[in-house]
Amino acid sequence: MFQKHVKVGPKGQIVIPKVFRDEFNIEPGSEVIVEYTEEGLVINTEKEETERVFREVAEGGGKTVKRIGPHEAYESELEERN
């Protein structure tokens, strides 16, 4: 896992490090989803970006037994972690 430390500004704002903005194609005006989980806060990109990442993983990983949407995959991952 790759991580960066950032400081919270006086209005509760954080800056997403450039390396992550570039990797996830986050530009000024992009929307992200901030989610509270048992492990802490999670920042996700919008659905379209998530779907693109899932497609790339599925296409690069060889044969898939069952195609599932990103929301179903996310819920499945949450269940496995609990």
Q: Could you tell me the residue ranges of all domains in the chain?
A: 18-81
pTM score of the predicted model: 0.51
Asked whether 25 and 52 are in contact (CB, 8 A), the reply is no
Give the pLDDT score at 61.
62
**Token pair belonging to 59:** 């296409």
Q: How many Cα atoms occupy the beta-carbon half-sphere of 37 within 13 Å?
A: 16
Could you give the CA distance from residue 42 to residue 10 in angstroms, rounded to a whole number? 21
Q: Decide if pLDDT at 58 tops 80.
A: no
What sign has the CA pseudo-torsion 50, 51, 52, 54? Answer: positive
* Greater pLDDT, 33 or 56: 33
Give the pLDDT score at 12.
94
Could you give the CA distance from residue 64 to residue 42 in angstroms, rounded to a whole number? 27
